[in-house]
Amino acid sequence: MENLENFRKETRAWLEANCPPEMRRSSQSEDDTCWGGRHWKFQSDAQRQWLERMAAKGWTVPEWPREYGGGGLSREEAKILRQTMRELNCRSPLDSFGIWMLGPALLKYGNEEQKREHLPKIARGEIRWCQGYSEPGSGSDLASLQTRAEDKGDQFLVNGSKIWTSYADKADWIFCLVRTDPNAPKHEGISFLLFDMESAGVSTKPIILISGSSPFCQTFFDDVLVPKANLVGKLNKGWDIAKYLLTHERDMIGGMGTTSENRSLGQIAADTVGSHNGMLADTALRSQIAAFEIDALAFRLTMDRAGDMAKVGHAHPAVSSLLKYYGTELNKRRMELVMSAGGTDALEWEGERSREGRSARAWLRSKANSIEGGTSEVQLNIIAKRILGLPGA
Amino acid sequence: MALVLNDEQTMLRDNARGFLAKNAPIAHLRALRDNRDADGFSRALWKNFVQMGWAGILVPQDYGGLGLGHVEAGVVMEELGRTLTPSPFLSTAVLAASAIARAGTDQQKENYLPKIVAGELIATLAVDETAKHHPEKIAMTATRAGNGFKLSGAKTFVIDGHVAKLLIVVARTSGKAGDTAGLTLFLVDASAPGVRSERTSTVDTHNAARITFDDVNASADSVLGKIDAGWDVLEGVLNVGRAAVAAEMVGASEEAFSRTVAYLKERKQFGKAIGEFQALQHRAAHLYCELEVTRAAVLKALQTLDDSYDRAGAIVSVAKARAGLSATLAVNEAVQMHGGIGMTDEFDIGLFMKRVRVCQELFGDSNFHADRLARLNRY
């Protein structure tokens, strides 16, 4: 415990000395997020410095082993680092699908060469990754995917199309589920491939969402050649990695329900509906906000408890479905309340007053939370089958 | 603190579960009900609780108790919820013991706590005066008379009030209904002249009473805590009771849920188990999530009472509000998914619905606690 307290002190001192003041202001828009990659243009010197300093310490990926560019921190130390960064309002130095998704998969399933090749570049923000999972014909039924990778000696020949590939137009590499055995049952003919988005035959087309932005793309593969060394895990065993990664993705999306805004819903609503004797004048809205806050706080505790249970060896593998389902439904509820509390102010779509329609766009974007990474209905199926053991689920 | 039970707490849970399954299953509640038992609980069973130390679970070791925390008391409450066992555990071991241990003088502790631990004294808290919980609206008066006070007024839904020998009565020594200042707690002998109690027959066949006080003498020594400043003591005790009842609801709703899931696997219609129908699978899976989320909040509330008693108000309200809602959903879904048989008196599932309805009301329902949380968060 004493060591942890020392670590807390040292971490705080280091962050105070090394985090540039610009990086200690709340981010104003999505553009403030640093994604890294070959073509990344830093928003400021401060953003570059912050990434370089954190990467040098291994703290862009604090829990990864040091030999792969990580910080080698224990779970407790990493928690302290996150807490301290929150307390000092330090921005994340680097966000990426490499950190959240591919990294954990490579650490578990990759060979030594793949780990040494890819993990340090993720940690330093040099290569930006995207995820090739869903296809136009394969949404909830992901395992029905049709993108083919044919064996051509020491290479695979990849043909097909992926959809909802977030930031595919900005990514350098893709991790991709491909069918390597079309005759096997659907879960048993899938492999996990890595390839460069600059390979001949790769093209992308952005998809504009109802929120008006387009982080997503459709991605096309037309006779793309991929070296066989880029196969992760065993041939036709990619579904295991896919499932493992989906768990990570669910945890990530589920956690979005708890992003802390500076102002509480109660405060936002007080501005528009007014207060009477210290209570919101709109009593029905007040009740809804209180009910939401009760569930949101209890959900944060549920996430803590899931972590604590994992630590003592009682984790249930399907618990990520619970967190994903509950967290995303909660976030949607929150955004409905933000819109309700904001009234007509929240309906503005452009202009500085509404920060380019921030509320309305976030509200619309939240609707995807319960679709992406496995719909709410798919999560309920998983809970019914794997936790409750209901028949035929 | 990690949001899991430690080894000792897990052992307490397993022991309690085993003991209650054997000695106080739901048949025990049915026998008390069907025989119209005058006490409404089994004194022999309460003696067993006493022997296991449960009556003194929150009583400091100096007074012969186990000196355990609210998490442990919650563990027992949860198990009592699973078997719907009526007992003076909540009134005596949780509410009264905790009030006296927290606010009592050395003399008061010496007088009462060892008796509670030994099972010689059933005691309870008399707080509510109206059908909905509004502790600040207490109107019952305590007027000065000589060195002491005279108490007049009426209390309702006093848990175990028909058998309690000691009543912890909250009355107004100054101010008016609605003020939190001006309340005082008194330790009143239930056999004192002017105290009249009428047992309440309740939907869940657990125990409560209406008690009237007609110029009841209370000596200066009977004041628990400070005169006019009883609110903080009361809030603390109520928080303990709220978290305990939330834990009871966790037990009752999880038992109702596990019986329901078992039934979904057994019951066949249209040539298959009804649990194969996605309409029921999704509702069951959703309910599972609600119960898990509640469990985390309730455990946190109990831990907070142990770690920072005076700052537990908000999390206790979160726990009580959530437990009320998720337990209500659990018992409603339980009866619906059991279909016709769930409506019969012979089948146990309806008994869970009855108890949860009572627990929802005790010490503030979900709406009360949502309002309380909003006030604490200033909106």
pLDDT tens digit sequence for A43-66: 999 999 999 999 999 999 999 999
Strand (E) positions, chain B?
Answer: 123-126, 141-145, 148-159, 166-172, 183-189, 195-200, 208-218, 223-224, 268-269, 272-273
- Top CATH class of B124-229 equals mainly beta
For residues B46-56, average pLDDT: 98
For residues A142 and A37, state if they share a domain: no
Among A236, A262, A287, identify where a domain stops. A236
For residues A180-192, average pLDDT: 96
| Nearest-by-CA chain A residue for B274 | A391
**Is A137 inside a domain boundary?**
yes
For residues A134 and A184, state if they share a domain: yes
The ipTM (two decimal places) reads 0.94
CB contact under 8 A, A267 and B379: yes
Pick A298's closest partner by Cβ from B281, B296, B377. B296
pLDDT value at residue A253: 65
Among A217, A236, A255, identify where a domain stops. A236
Please write the tens of the pLDDT for every residue from B267-289: 999 999 999 999 999 999 999 99
**Is A393 inside a domain boundary?**
no
Question: Is A103's pLDDT higher than 50?
Answer: yes
Overall residue count recorded for chain A in this entry: 393
Among A186, A210, A236, identify where a domain stops. A236
**Is A157 inside a domain boundary?**
yes
Angle at Cα B292 formed by Cα B287 and Cα B295, nearest 5°? 125
pLDDT value at residue B334: 98
Report the CATH number at residue A348.
1.20.140.10
Angle at Cα B215 formed by Cα B211 and Cα B221, nearest 5°? 90
Q: Enumerate the residues of chain A whose CB falls inside 8 A of the CB of residue B250.
A: none
Angle at Cα B74 formed by Cα B164 and Cα B247, nearest 5°? 95
Confidence of residue A254 (pLDDT cuts 50, 70, 90): low
Question: Is B40's pLDDT higher than 70?
Answer: yes
CB contact under 8 A, B284 and A384: yes
Q: How far apart are CA A156 and CA A193, in angstroms?
A: 9
**Is A37 inside a domain boundary?**
yes
Q: Enumerate the residues of chain B whose CB falls inside 8 A of the CB of residue A295.
A: 293, 322
- Domain total for chain A? 3
For residues A119 and A56, state if they share a domain: yes
CB contact under 8 A, B282 and A380: yes
* Residue pairs spanning A and B at CB distance below 8 A: 135
For residues B335-358, average pLDDT: 97
For residues A153 and A201, state if they share a domain: yes
Q: What value does the mean pLDDT of chain B take?
A: 97
Q: How far apart are CA A257 and CA A335, in angstroms?
A: 10
pLDDT value at residue A26: 79
CB contact under 8 A, A384 and B297: no
**Is A78 inside a domain boundary?**
yes
CB contact under 8 A, A294 and B289: no
For residues A150 and A205, state if they share a domain: yes
| Nearest-by-CA chain A residue for B368 | A287
**Fold type of domain B232-376:** Butyryl-CoA Dehydrogenase, subunit A; domain 3 (1.20.140)
For residues A202 and A279, state if they share a domain: no
Q: Enumerate the residues of chain B whose CB falls inside 8 A of the CB of residue A389.
A: 261, 265
CB contact under 8 A, B374 and A279: yes
For residues A118 and A135, state if they share a domain: no
Question: Is A258's pLDDT higher than 70?
Answer: no
Tokens linked to A7 = 């670590």
Pick B379's closest partner by Cβ from A266, A291, A387. A266
Q: Domain boundaries in chain B?
A: 7-121, 124-229, 232-376
Pick B3's closest partner by Cβ from A295, A308, A383. A308
**Fold type of domain B7-121:** Butyryl-Coa Dehydrogenase, subunit A; domain 1 (1.10.540)
Confidence of residue B200 (pLDDT cuts 50, 70, 90): very high
For residues B243-258, average pLDDT: 98
Question: Is A214's pLDDT higher than 90?
Answer: no
Bridge pairing between strands B183-189 and B195-200: unpaired
pLDDT value at residue A257: 46
CB contact under 8 A, B379 and A325: no
Place of tokens 């962050």: A15
Q: Domain range holding A92?
A: 2-123
**Is A72 inside a domain boundary?**
yes
Q: Identity (one letter) of the amino acid at B181? A: A
For residues A60 and A114, state if they share a domain: yes
Report the CATH number at residue A202.
2.40.110.10
Question: Is B350's pLDDT higher than 80?
Answer: yes
pLDDT value at residue A247: 77
| Nearest-by-CA chain B residue for A281 | B379
| Nearest-by-CA chain B residue for A276 | B379
Q: Which of A162-171, A263-272, B192-201, B315-324 has the least mean pLDDT?
A: A263-272
For residues A340 and A263, state if they share a domain: yes
**Is A333 inside a domain boundary?**
yes
